[in-house]
Structure 1
Amino acid sequence: MSLIKWVDFQILGDERGSLVALETDRAVPFEIKRVYYIYRTAENVSRGFHAHRNLKQVAICVAGRCRMVIDNGYVREDTWLDCPTKGLLIESMVWREMHDFSPDCVLLVLASEHFDESDYIRNYETFLEAATQ
């Protein structure tokens, strides 16, 4: 079973341009408690390298592109985020890494929980132990 789960967003707009609305329990399958974005990532820099015990996320590349690697301890897959009308759903207990950011990349992330450092697993071996129990 693939870990790659896309959330497709409805495109609204007219001759003036396009708009995407992100609403809790409609386009986004959880209550949004935190929103952040990553931009101006330096060339050859990778981000992420962690998992969350409880938090779920939807990652959307609203400009440019980046490559996302996700891993549940059994399956490791990668995909490109390069479309502002598609979000990658990242469940809890999934390791994530972001690579190959284009210079214009803006990666928007919607999170199901407020920031909580204790929810992070930042060591891959610790993650594997917890994910494969």
Structure 2
Amino acid sequence: MNASIYNCNVIELPKIHNRAGNITPVSSCVEIPFNIKRVYYLYDVPGGETRGGHAHKQLEQLIVAASGSFDVVLDDGVIKKTVTLNRPNYGLYIPPGIWRDLNNFSSGAVLLVLASEKYTEEDYIREYEAFLTYKK
């Protein structure tokens, strides 16, 4: 997979203002470049914990800080880059072939993931050395 961290970008999502609270709609292939087949979220991450620690062979993701903040460390096997997410109307697009670590979670952070595929264990690369081999 030839994806690099330069293929990862922060996407500003629509924000509809309302006195009673804002709303951000997200539609497949409209605000994001893929069809959404799975949605999940992480919460109650203990202080100091790191999540992620894997890459995907086919799966595309949009990661959103629905609440609070956290860092996403992107790694394409050559270059690493840290992106801080802290606004619910911005999402980080991650194509296949990018290693990611999630850390520095604020208290009460909620990490929302929109994914292009349903869960399949075969799509995961969970060992960093295997990831480096895959990238070659």
Taking structure 1 as the reference length, the TM-score comes to: 0.95
Which structure dedicates a bigger proportion of its chain to strand?
1
Q: Distance in 1 between matches of 2:18 and 2:39?
A: 27
Residues 4 and 77, structure 1, Cα contact 8 Å, conserved in 2: no
From 20, 26, 35, the equivalent of 2:24 is: 20
Cross-structure match for 1:127 = 131
Which consecutive aligned stretches of 4+ in structure 1 deviate over 6 angstroms post-superposition?
none
**2:116 is aligned with 1:112:** yes
Q: Find the counterpart in structure 1 of residue 91 from structure 2.
A: 87
Structure 1 gaps, min length 5:
none
Structure-2 separation of matches of 1:92 and 1:106: 23
What does residue 101 of structure 1 align with?
105
Identity %, equivalent residues: 36
Instruction: State the shift of 1:15 in Å.
Output: 1.9
| Residues 19-73 of structure 1: CA deviation (Å, up to 9, x unaligned) | 0001001112100000000000011110000000000000000100001101111
Q: How many residues align?
A: 132
Classify the secondary structure of the residue corresponding to 1:17. Answer: coil
What is the CA RMSD across the aligned residues, in angstroms?
1.1
- Say whether the 8 Å CA contact 1:3–1:77 is kept in structure 2: no
Give how far 1:4 is off: 4.2
Where do 5+ consecutive residues of structure 2 fail to align?
none
